[in-house]
Every structure is written in structure tokens, then in C-alpha cells.
Structure 1
């Protein structure tokens, strides 16, 4: 099978990555993808398959959390945010009902136990942001800190409100003003202006065991169901819900960032030390990617690990190297950086994986990268 046509270039020595990308494009059901890699400050891979291209903008689902985490790191670099401070220092109402001791680092590393409000939220509250944030501030901790509990949607609501309390603006505005506009990056939280992003295709075939696990772990009432739907406020499949105009015009920093492949890779490259346009210094980066929590995730059911918003290597997040950080998304998007290897990578496919926590395309690409620059 020939698969979708492949365009773009790879640097000398990076042929194994092109071969892996070509193998992905030959898989049944693939509609196209983009792959961009920066290694030690130089672009080494810039590939596009099928209908994907350099200017294609795509919703990246939970890979949005890595973008949002970069914004929070920039605020920390500017001295406006202290990861070790209590959230209540910036957002006094958050400190109610026994939450006064929760730190910013604990909030951003999915330890706050606020995966959904106790009372059912409405979709309008989720999309508006602040009503859901107010509801979460009025909650008690469901679990004590110390184990991760993946806040699939509410992580972004909480981070957005924290940014609003610090800057007076929304997280998407910080992204635009402090990162994207100065560095000419095509990334946004939602799409308040301009044409809609390219659509995603649902997985053509989901294996029986994956369907069975989803039916058990994500049945109504379970922590995974509550986190993924905000206790039933979201009732459509992700690829359908995220394509709605009301979703695209909202600011959901955990789920609806829109990016091109090149811009996402460049953002991660600018988090690495030693680049001419580094967004943060070494101490801030180390604090942002320091492992704050690890263990069996109360929501995902497998081991996860987090820094301040960034996913870290674990059973849940396969990032290809023990020193990498970043975030994948349920649609198959992946953005990451690896300071030890000087690597920044973005992969945006147009077809969703059957299993969001085990995308074989990620494994294939990361293994090919390891063949070129080492593990």
C-alpha cells in the first residue's frame, strides 16, 4: 500500500524517522499527519502526509496542557507566579473548605482532587470557564494530595482562573501576547478569530479489549467518566464536540488549543536551555518539569507522572526518554521536549488512535528518533 503522499525534508542521518513516518502513512485509516523535529536548535525533520501541510491548524486536545504549562512557566520566569505558593495567595476563594494548603505545583500536577464539581455542571458553564471555576473553588478535596488524579478538562479551567487572578486576562491572552506574537507562532487557545481548524477522523476500528476497558473504566459515575465529561456536561464524542463552533470559540486550556505542527515543535524548542530565544531560564524550567507526583492515577487507572502541567514519562505518557516532558492528546497529537538530547518534537495526525494512552504511532516515531540520536 502506497498510502498518502509524503512531502517535506529530513536532514542527513534522519532517514529512519522518515521511514517510520512513511510506515504510519501506509496504515489503514490514516488521512494525513505532520511531523516536525528540532534537534539542538536546527530543524531536522519537516514532513507532511496526505492532506496535512505546514499551515494546517488542528485541535490538539490534551496536548493543549503542554502549551498552557509553557504559559505558566513564562509567568513564573517573570516573577508573577510562584509554583511553591498556595493557590489561595492568588485566588483567595480557592482556599475554602480545607484547600488553603494546596500549592500551585499541586494544582498543576493534578493533585487537587477537583476532577468535576459535586453538582452536575452545564455545558455553558464549562465553556464559559469562570462559572465552573467558581464551582470548583467551592468544593472540598475529593482526595488528599500525594497521588495523581488526571483532571482531563478542569485542569484548564483551574489554570485559566489562576492566570486571570494574576494578570487580569485569560490564559489564551498570555499565550498570544507573551509567546506567539513575539515569536510568530501559530498557536491559540480555541479559535476566536479566523477559519475553523482541520477536522479529525475517529478511529476506524477499535479493538474489542479497548472497547471493553472503556466500557468498564468510563461508565457513567466513574472518576474517568466524571473527568472526561465534567460529570455529564459533555455528551458527544470528542471529535464531534470539539468541532462545534461554541467549543472552538471558548477558551479551554486543557482541551482546545489549536496549532500547526511547526509552531508546536518550535514552542517546545524554545523551552530548551541554550537556544537563542529561550522562553525561560534553567531554574524555571527545572521547577516546571520537576516530578511533583507519580503513581497509579486515580482517574486513568494506570501510573502517571506530572510536573507543573507537563506530563512526564510513565505508563500513561510514553515520551520516548526518561528526561523528556510534554503532553499527548486523545486525538493523537504529541508535543514534547527533551533537554538532555536537545530535542523538540511535534506530531499532529488527522486520524484519532483507538487507544489514547497507547498510540502505536508515537512509539514508532520515538523509537526511530532514538535510532538517530540515541535513547
Structure 2
């Protein structure tokens, strides 16, 4: 954990953004916090660039890279939006147009938008997959294509891990390359973004650690809703293929070497915020057209989530404001992660934010750090 000296804030804030700095400082003063980065862009201008604690070896810095767990889905969704903007992908087309085998067993009418908004009913294969199947991608994708949808489209059912497998195979069928490779070539390298799916090249990312204090109610709720056999357990573990706790699993070299667009993206806070800033309508250096952005963040699935048990909402890969995803504004889009990472954009307020902490929250669906930071932003720029 960080020492008192490590908790000194490093970085800058623009005049008027001191409330956000003060909240970040308060968060980092807590004894369990190890290190974190916070980057905020408002109207194409960086207004918050703050760091505190350590990256595990030295001070947490603008170059510190972390695995962001399910915040990876927002990164992958940006890549898919670029393919849509190029005309290579139609959100409203059947998945089977690009991936014929996916249409088996009554799935021929499931659209790309339904797949990306967690309506495909493929949270795990009916037969137990192996960890190798998950990490290699295509074996799991083949198994999912040969499944019947567990539920009809219409309500979300959070595909915690398999969302990335399905998106990866869709991209491979369209381009011949895996999603991580397309992300690098079309999105990150041309814009100098330090983002990747996995870390098959380069040093390992800064480790994330589980919360040391978990309230009794959270432990009891987890024991009930994530017990073996439940939809949440199946989605999180891919029917038991993943046995390690998340903070340990993502440190394994074989996990980091894989491409899991739902779970193992690696980024800096600055690069993640810059990515979302490029997705905003009217951006100075837009990643996609406003028309494609509107289609990507339009609500596609809203309702009580069949996996999470809470109301959730999704666009084409992006989480939208709901009880499950508290994003601070009705016009926000993005994705949090079980490790505490948060990346988002807000179309109306022209805001992009990334928060990367090294300490996981006790309750991933109710991270008080997200709420207090987003409330501080609202204090500065209004609701």
C-alpha cells in the first residue's frame, strides 16, 4: 500500500476544477488506496490530470498502464464503431451476414446491435469450456455459435466475458484480424494512444489488488447471486473455466498474452480519456462521424438485466446510465470495470473522463469513488 509521502497529488487541474482535485485527494487519503490516475477532458481541453500513490514499483505516473477489466468493453466498442463508420459493419444487419455459423439453432435474426447490447443470450456455453478455450478465443466462439440463445432478445443479460469473444470473432470475420490488432492499427497507433488488448508486447501492467475490507451485506449478496450455477457465476467464470479471483487472473502471463476484449484491455488514464474525447460529437479530432456516434450510443437494450439482477442499459457495446451503471449524467456513455476503472464520455456536456485505481471496490456495481468524482464534476460544470 502507499505510504503517506506517496499520497501527495501529482499533476495539474485547470482553474475552477479544484473540487474534483479535492475529491480525488480525499479518495487517495484512504488507507486501502494504493495508487490511481484521473484524467478529465472538457470541451477538447484537459482540465484534470492527477496521479497519486504508486504503480507497484514507483510513483503512479501518466505512463502507468493498468488492466481495466470490463472498462475494456468501451474500448472495444470504439473499435467496432470505427468499423461501422468505415462501412465495414452495419449495426442493424444480422450477425450471420458476417459470421454464417452464428446463425445456427435459431440465431439467424440476431442483429449486430443486439449482440453488442448483451441480448444474444450467450453468456456461457452449455458445456463447460476450458481456460484455454477462453484465452484462445476462437474455440469458445465456435462453441457459442453452436448454442441456442438462452433467452430471446428484448432484455439485456450481461455477457461479462463472452461479449468480448463474440465481438472479437465478428471483427475477425470482417477484417481477417483480431479485434486487438484492428484497434491498434485503426485507432491507437495513428493517434498515439497507449491502449492495447492484452500485453503480448511490452512490460506487464501495474497490478490491481482486491479490496481488503468487504462489508457483510456485500459478501452475503455475492454468496447468493454469484453462487455456482447462477447466471452471474456462469457469465463471470464462463461456466467455471475461470477459477481465480479477477485480480489474480489478470496478472497471469497467459491472460495478459491473450486477447479478451471484454476484460483485459490495458491503458493509461490519459489515453482512455482521450479515446472518449474523440468519440464526442463535435470533437476537435473526431474518431467517427456524429451519425455513427449517435447510432453507437443509442439505447438498444434497457430493462432488468437477466444476469446482474438490476436494471441495466446498453448501446452498441457501451454501457448507458442505469442502476447498474452510474455514469453521472443521462447523456453519458462508457463502461466501468470490476477493478474500479471507469471510462466515459458525455455527449451533451462534451466531457471525457478516465479513472484508474489500483484498489478494487468492495462492490463493483456501487463504487462510491465513481459517484463522488462524478458529483464533483457536476459541481463544476452543472448537470
Is the structural similarity TM-score above 0.5? Answer: yes
Distance 1:206 1:23 in 2: 20
> Partner of 1:302 in structure 2?
310
* 1:313-368: CA deviation from partner (whole Å, max 9, x where unpaired): 00000000000000000000000000100100000001000000000000010000
Matches within 5 A, 1:124-163: 124-163=132-171
* 318, 321, 340: which one aligns with 1:332: 340
Matches within 5 A, 1:72-111: 72-111=80-119
Distance 2:282 2:245 in 1: 42
Q: Does 1:50 align with 2:58?
A: no
* 1:71-101: CA deviation from partner (whole Å, max 9, x where unpaired): 0000000000000000000000000000000
Gaps of 5+ in 1: none
Distance 1:273 1:103 in 2: 25
Distance 1:226 1:275 in 2: 39
Distance 1:112 1:274 in 2: 32
Distance 1:210 1:133 in 2: 33
RMSD: 0.9
For the residue of structure 1 that corresponds to 2:322, the secondary structure is: coil
TM-aligned CA deviation for residue 265 of structure 1: 0.3
Gaps of 5+ in 2: 55-59
What TM-score, normalized by structure 1, do the two folds share? 0.99
Distance 2:301 2:208 in 1: 32
> Partner of 2:272 in structure 1?
264
> Partner of 1:353 in structure 2?
361
For the residue of structure 1 that corresponds to 2:150, the secondary structure is: coil
TM-aligned CA deviation for residue 283 of structure 1: 0.7
Distance 2:293 2:314 in 1: 14
> Partner of 1:8 in structure 2?
11
The range that moved more, 273-282 or 74-83, is 273-282
> Partner of 2:172 in structure 1?
164
* 38, 41, 44: which one aligns with 2:41: 38
Aligned length, in residue pairs: 375
What TM-score, normalized by structure 2, do the two folds share? 0.97
* 1:289-314: CA deviation from partner (whole Å, max 9, x where unpaired): 00001111000011100000000000
Distance 2:288 2:182 in 1: 14
TM-aligned CA deviation for residue 28 of structure 1: 2.3
> Partner of 2:253 in structure 1?
245
* 357, 367, 370: which one aligns with 1:362: 370
Moved over 2 A (4+): none
